């Protein structure tokens, strides 16, 4: 998998984080820079950790399903993409954040990264450098969180739904590309 494709996966995964960060900035206008860095680091940590854990699990079964691994990658990425789009469309109200305690940050990190675990499983079925991938995912998520909080602090932005839909479309497109490339090699 090429670096542009890894970056697209990272962008797709970071859209949930971006939307939550915009909401955080909207609701907590007085986020200081170091507090924003702390929030972004926690979100980036989980967004990097869960794909790695998914990859570890997926790499244990890849040898048993090697002939149909492209279908698994496509189906898993499609499920995540469809879930992101459905959640975005069905979630008409803003995501509420009561406080920014460490416990809440951990829950935010886990909540925005569950989909990344499934993506990590699908990454085990393709040729990918996992360590470089999780670094790219972490950096992308960190930047998305920082930019999201900044935007949330500055303007009244209600485009979180659109952003999550775009993320779902990107992940679905990557899954479709993996499937088509493999089918064309046959």
Walk along the chain (186 residues) and give the pLDDT tens digit of each residue: 788 889 998 998 888 788 888 777 777 767 889 989 999 999 999 999 999 999 999 888 877 776 777 787 788 778 877 877 887 788 654 444 446 778 878 888 887 788 888 889 888 888 788 999 999 999 999 999 999 888 888 865 455 667 667 767 877 887 788 788 778 876
Spans of all domains in the chain: 3-185
Structure tokens at 58: 């997926």
**What is the tens place of the pLDDT at every residue in 69-103?**
778 778 877 887 787 788 778 865 444 444 677 88
Tell me how crowded residue 66 is: count the other CB atoms within 10 A of its CB.
10
d(Cα 156, Cα 147) in Å, to the nearest integer? Answer: 14
CA distance linking residue 69 with residue 178, whole number of Å:
10
pLDDT at res. 158: 53
Q: Judge contact between 52 and 13, C-beta under 8 A.
A: no
Say how far apart CA 77 and CA 60 lie, in whole Å: 19
Helix (H) or strand (E) holding 37: helix 33-61
User: What pLDDT is attached to residue 83?
Assistant: 79
pTM: 0.73
């Amino acid at each position: 998998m090429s670096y542009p494709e890894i970056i697209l996966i990272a962008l797709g995964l970071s859209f949930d984080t971006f939307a939550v960060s915009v909401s955080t900035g909207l609701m907590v206008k007085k986020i200081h820079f170091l507090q924003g860095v702390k929030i972004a680091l926690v979100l980036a940590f989980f967004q990097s950790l869960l794909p790695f854990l998914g990859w570890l699990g997926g790499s244990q079964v890849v040898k048993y399903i090697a002939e149909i691994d492209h279908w698994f990658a496509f189906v898993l990425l499609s499920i995540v993409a469809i879930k992101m789009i459905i959640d975005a469309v069905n979630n008409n109200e803003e995501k509420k954040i009561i406080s920014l305690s460490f416990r809440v940050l951990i829950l935010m990190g886990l909540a925005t990264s569950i989909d990344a675990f499934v993506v990590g499983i699908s990454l085990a079925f393709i040729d990918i450098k996992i360590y470089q991938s999780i670094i790219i995912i972490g950096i992308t998520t960190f930047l998305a969180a920082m930019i999201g909080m900044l935007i949330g602090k500055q303007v009244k932005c209600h485009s979180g739904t659109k952003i999550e839909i775009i993320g779902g479309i990107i992940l679905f497109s990557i899954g479709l590309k993996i499937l088509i490339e493999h089918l064309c090699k046959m």
